[in-house]
Amino acid sequence: MVGGGGGAAADRDANSIKSAAAPEVREQDRFMPIANVIRIMRRVLPAYAKISDDAKETIQECVSEYISFITGEANERCQREQRKTITADDVLWAMSKLGFDDYVHPLALYLRQYRQLEGGDHRLPIVIKPPPPHAPQNFAAVPNPNANANAVPAMQQYQMHQYLGHDAYGNGTVGGYYAARGVFGGPDHESGGSSSSQLFPAAMQAMPNFDHPFGFK
């Protein structure tokens, strides 16, 4: 008889016989799909290598244990800091603390690339500030009905800000670590008069320099 703790046993009793065999958590919910695990393993093995079934299952279980291990540490940090949400930053911090700091840089890179590709939807709000009031503007002049003459110079006064709000790196503004190093273009980024439909001109054009060490507090 598999012991699942008092709660599971009580549930089983309450539900009587029909669900007596149901485990508390379905096995497939506890682990990564084994096909995915095998695919990843094969990437680092020579073509002739064979993998025993018990090795596949063991590594499958190890992955779940790894997630739990890291998450537990990240969760404790959130508790200490009285935050309700475990963020990507917490996960990366926990990995570094628990000895997986070699992973941090590639993961930070992966996360940034993900944000660049996905951020146009909802995650990266684009703020277009209206131009400051323009004292020298000559309102006495005959108003130009099509207003196109004003459109181009007015555009140059717009600043396009990309920021992540209170982002996953625990920084309040502009992507924190990465924006400070100009990856997202930062607040100083000049859109160069290009059209406002170009959302991430810096991000899409430049391959950032990854020489900077990823410093953690």
Residue number with CB closer to another protein (3 or 130): 3
The residues with which 198 forms a beta bridge, in sequence order, are none
Q: How far is the CB of 24 from another protein (least distance, A)?
A: 5
Q: How far is the CB of 136 from another protein (least distance, A)?
A: 43
Angle between helices 53-80 and 88-97 (to 10 degrees): 110
* Phi, psi for 135 (deg, rounded to 5): -55, -45
The span from the CA of 125 to the CA of 161, in Å, is 8
In Å, how far are 31, 38, 44 from 53, measured between CA atoms?
15, 10, 17
* Phi, psi for 128 (deg, rounded to 5): -110, 115
Q: How far is the CB of 58 from another protein (least distance, A)?
A: 5
Residue number with CB closer to another protein (15 or 156): 15
Residue number with CB closer to another protein (53 or 188): 53
Q: How far is the CB of 148 from another protein (least distance, A)?
A: 34
Q: How far is the CB of 44 from another protein (least distance, A)?
A: 5
Q: How far apart are the first and last CA of the chain?
A: 48
Residue number with CB closer to another protein (37 or 183): 37
In Å, how far are 14, 106, 215 from 207, measured between CA atoms?
60, 15, 20
